[in-house]
């Protein structure tokens, strides 16, 4: 049985919510992450265990402290579970780099490893509470993980314009 699709306005609101998650994650704007997850949110499949929103934010902040990251979510699909509850699946790709040999990922030590490039999906549930959408469940499903080994990428200090966090509000 196929569940009905949510209202397009709700899909846009949930999509904006997920876009803010990726933005805050890569910009390391941890205080703003509390605006994405419900306080009782549940998490599965990440490189670390987390018990609720605050623990997830603290743990992901520590995990990414010395990591350069780019996360992408695309090709979302949604279904209406019941009024005020939506499920979504987002295809994902991320690219994480760190100092060579400075960490072991998922318990597998690989000499010269300086990051990962990975693909998969986020399986999530969103709830409308007090007039706004929240992520209440997030499961990271990785279908491919490519370790980065060999010469680490250079990180020259290019003179480029940085993102403006207030652009949409201005």
Question: Could you tell me how many helices (H) and strands (E) the chain has, helices first?
Answer: 2, 5
**Number of neighbours of residue 145 by Cβ within 10 angstroms:** 14
Under 8 Å between Cβ of 145 and 121: no
CA–CA gap between residue 6 and residue 83 (Å, rounded): 9
pLDDT by residue, tens only, the chain of 170 residues: 678 899 999 999 999 999 999 999 999 999 999 999 999 999 999 988 899 999 999 999 999 999 999 999 999 999 999 999 999 999 999 999 999 999 999 999 999 999 999 999 999 999 999 999 999 999 999 999 999 998 877 778 888 888 888 887 87
What is the domain partition of the chain in residue ranges? 8-148
* CATH topology assigned to domain 8-148: Nuclear Transport Factor 2; Chain: A, (3.10.450)
Structure tokens at 113: 């490893």
Task: Give me the pLDDT at residue 86, please.
Answer: 98
User: What are the residues facing 96 on neighbouring strands?
Assistant: 69, 116
Task: Give me the pLDDT at residue 1, please.
Answer: 60
Separation in Å, CA 62 to CA 25, 148, 167: 12, 21, 28
Task: Give me the pLDDT at residue 37, please.
Answer: 98
Task: Give me the pLDDT at residue 152, please.
Answer: 74
Task: Give me the pLDDT at residue 166, please.
Answer: 82
> Reduced to 3 states, what is the DSSP secondary structure of residue 122?
strand
pTM for this predicted structure = 0.92
Task: Give me the pLDDT at residue 153, please.
Answer: 76
């Amino acid at each position: 049985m196929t569940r009905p699709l949510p209202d397009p306005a709700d899909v846009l609101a949930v999509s904006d919510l997920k876009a803010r998650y990726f933005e805050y994650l890569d910009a390391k704007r941890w205080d703003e992450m509390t605006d994405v997850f419900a306080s009782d949110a549940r998490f599965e499949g990440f490189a670390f265990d987390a018990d609720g929103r605050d623990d997830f934010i603290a743990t992901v902040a520590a995990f990414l402290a010395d990591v350069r990251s780019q996360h992408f979510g695309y090709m979302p699909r949604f279904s209406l579970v019941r009024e005020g509850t939506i499920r979504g699946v987002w295809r994902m790709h991320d690219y994480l780099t760190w100092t060579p040999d400075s960490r072991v990922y998922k318990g597998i030590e690989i000499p010269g490893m300086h990051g990962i490039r990975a693909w998969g999906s986020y399986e999530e549930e969103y709830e409308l509470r007090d007039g706004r959408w929240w992520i209440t469940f997030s499961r990271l499903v990785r279908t491919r993980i490519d370790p980065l080994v060999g010469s680490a990428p250079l990180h020259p200090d290019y003179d480029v314009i940085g993102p403006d966090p207030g652009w949409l509000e201005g």
